[in-house]
Structure 1
Amino acid sequence: MRKLIWAISGIMFLAACNTGNSTKTLPIFGERTPVTKTVDGKPVTDTLYQTIPPFKFVNQYGDTISNKNLDGKIYVADFFFTSCPSICPIMQRNMLLVYNEFKSDPNVKILSHTIDPKHDSVPVLKDYADKLGIQGNSWWLLYGQKEEIYQLAEKHYLTRVNDGKDGLIHEGWFLLVDKQKRIRGSYDGTIPEQVKQLIADMHTLQLEK
């Protein structure tokens, strides 16, 4: 299902690029629902896009972070855990490229959600952030209830996480979210070229009205 959504979005993106408009337009990912309403006595069909729902977590400073902290901002989201021995170190090293590019912009945020809240307490996240060199409030490492994090990842960010007999498993996607809480891009956080594309698309999204 996820591959189908990405494929459809990719086709839409190519179509947008070939309309003769010199301004690049990023696709909108996820499910969409047609909504018909009456305007001036005539039926008008609009599209209701999938959005990231309200949430409330705690960051590495012990501050409560909710969806309202992101009103009017674009952000990048990913999922990780501090004791991850495989892709997480690569992902966080690549996310530092995004952080360094936008850390002085108050309208851009990074949200990294731990999928191991049993181990990754607020002090553990703060120590992890310090070792990465994260300062200020542009990159939040978020702690919350496991069930809520897992549902948010799979149902709304369309990225797989799993706590099975072989341990914690998660995908390495960086998800780009716009000011309307819609997913506008998905990038493999382990591949530097895709992270560079993410940065370029973030600059594009900043110019979007």
Structure 2
Amino acid sequence: MKKLILPLLALLAFTACNQKNATKLPIYGDRQPITKTIDGKQVTDTVYATIPPFSFVDQERKTITQQSLNGKIYVADFFFTSCPSICPTMQRNMLTVFKAYEGKPDFKLVSFTIDPRHDTIPVLKTYAEKLGAKADQWYFLLGKKEEVYQLAEKNYLVSVAEDGRAPGGYVHQGWLVLVDKKGRVRGAYDGTDKKQVQQLIADVKVLMEEENAKA
């Protein structure tokens, strides 16, 4: 799995860094062609992979599902509150993204903890409040470890693992993953790189304009 994820995410990062002049963002993940009949003619369309059903609890003890994010553009990451390495930088940069679109009703941020033993609801709530995150726009989610890890690696394409030799006991990639209103992955950005975070902020705008054009 990791051997597949790393080259793919490297491609995502390369693409993210070269989307400055893009008018439409690419769609990542598995895709499947389907044939349907329209006005008596057979037309081939492409169905893209979407984030599958999940149900976790946020820092306010509210249940958040993938349906809670339907019709929303959002940025997701995977972290743990006691992380001594990349997480503090990632979350500060997530805060920059939050501030860029604060108050936008169709934009959310989602941070999944990969350490459910330590990161209880009170811990997540304290962490979110110290960071300055608003609970109605930025969800810090707690769920079963195996479900979170599967979602990370299979759907958000982020490698995570428990490793007693690593600082804090976990290793994970620092991608900030951009998801559109249909639940499709549209980009991934190094959450420790300010330039890529600025590109993410710009690409959120591109995606919003794309969605508005459809409406």
Q: When the two structures are superposed, what TM-score results if normalisation uses the length of structure 1?
A: 0.90
Tell me, yes or no, if structure 1 residue 204 matches structure 2 residue 206: yes
Query: Which amino acid is the alignment partner of residue 32 of structure 2?
Result: T
CA distance in 2, matches of 1:8, 1:109: 21
Tell me, yes or no, if structure 1 residue 108 matches structure 2 residue 107: yes
CA distance in 1, matches of 2:57, 2:105: 19
CA distance in 2, matches of 1:84, 1:131: 15
Tell me, yes or no, if structure 1 residue 181 matches structure 2 residue 183: yes
- Aligned twin of 1:56: 55
Q: 1:57-89: per-residue Cα shift (whole Å, max 9, x none)?
A: 100011111111112110000000000000000
- Aligned twin of 1:67: 66
Q: When the two structures are superposed, what TM-score results if normalisation uses the length of structure 2?
A: 0.88
Q: Relative to 1, partners in 2 of residues 1:64 and 1:190: Cα closer, same or farther, differing over 3 Å?
A: same
Q: Relative to 1, partners in 2 of residues 1:196 and 1:23: Cα closer, same or farther, differing over 3 Å?
A: closer
Percent of residue pairs bearing the same amino acid type: 55
Query: Which amino acid is the alignment partner of residue 205 of structure 1?
Result: L
Residues 113 and 149, structure 1, Cα contact 8 Å, conserved in 2: yes
Alignment of 1:1-209 (within 5 A): 1-2=4-5, 3-4=7-8, 7=11, 24-166=23-165, 167-208=169-210, 209=214
Query: Which moves more between the two structures, 150-159 or 100-109?
Result: 100-109
CA distance in 2, matches of 1:97, 1:8: 21
Query: Which amino acid is the alignment partner of residue 140 of structure 1?
Result: Y
Deviation at 1:40, TM superposition (A): 2.9
Query: Which moves more between the two structures, 151-160 or 31-40?
Result: 31-40
Query: Which amino acid is the alignment partner of residue 120 of structure 1?
Result: D
Gaps of 5+ in 1: none
| Matched residue SS, 1:94 | helix
Deviation at 1:10, TM superposition (A): 6.6
CA distance in 1, matches of 2:125, 2:163: 27
Residues 26 and 205, structure 1, Cα contact 8 Å, conserved in 2: yes
CA distance in 2, matches of 1:5, 1:123: 33
| Matched residue SS, 2:26 | coil
Residues 9 and 29, structure 1, Cα contact 8 Å, conserved in 2: no
Query: Number of aligned pairs?
Result: 203
Query: Which moves more between the two structures, 61-70 or 81-90?
Result: 61-70
Query: Which amino acid is the alignment partner of residue 209 of structure 2?
Result: L
| Matched residue SS, 1:207 | helix
Q: Relative to 1, partners in 2 of residues 1:46 and 1:100: Cα closer, same or farther, differing over 3 Å?
A: same
Residues 77 and 112, structure 1, Cα contact 8 Å, conserved in 2: yes
Gaps of 5+ in 2: none
CA distance in 2, matches of 1:175, 1:7: 13
Residues 172 and 188, structure 1, Cα contact 8 Å, conserved in 2: yes
Superposed CA RMSD in Å reads 2.2
Q: 1:148-181: per-residue Cα shift (whole Å, max 9, x none)?
A: 0000000000110001332211100000000010
| Matched residue SS, 1:165 | coil
Query: Which moves more between the two structures, 95-104 or 109-118?
Result: 95-104
RCO (CA 8 Å, sep 6+): is it higher in 1 or 2?
Answer: 2
